């Protein structure tokens, strides 16, 4: 994975991979490579979403703590 990969770029590539796999025109070897790439992209996206969720939880907890103080 490129260090410059963004969530949006990864999602766009995932959509392309799904389309390629759904059309059924790929060879088995190509399908396996696409599936592997898609799995890595899905893992990257999932991790990115989890990081964002943790940041949001932290920010809302910090806001709640400041409001109570």
- Residue that wins the pLDDT comparison between 1 and 22: 22
Residue 69 pLDDT level (bands cut at 50, 70, 90): low
Tell me: the pLDDT tens digits for 18-65?
999 999 999 999 999 999 999 999 999 999 999 999 999 999 987 777
**What's the pLDDT at 27?**
97
The per-residue DSSP string of 41-53 comes to HHHHHHHHHHHHH
User: What are the residue boundaries of the structural domains of the chain, listed by start?
Assistant: 7-68
The per-residue DSSP string of 51-65 comes to HHHHHHHHHHHHHHH
Pairwise CA distance, residues 55 & 26, whole Å: 40
């Amino acid at each position: 994975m490129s260090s410059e990969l963004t969530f949006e770029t990864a999602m766009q590539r995932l959509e392309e991979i799904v389309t390629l796999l759904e059309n059924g025109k790929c060879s088995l070897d190509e399908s396996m490579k696409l599936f592997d790439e898609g799995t890595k992209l899905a893992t990257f996206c999932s991790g990115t979403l989890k990081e964002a969720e943790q940041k949001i939880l932290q920010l809302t907890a910090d806001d709640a703590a400041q409001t109570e103080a």
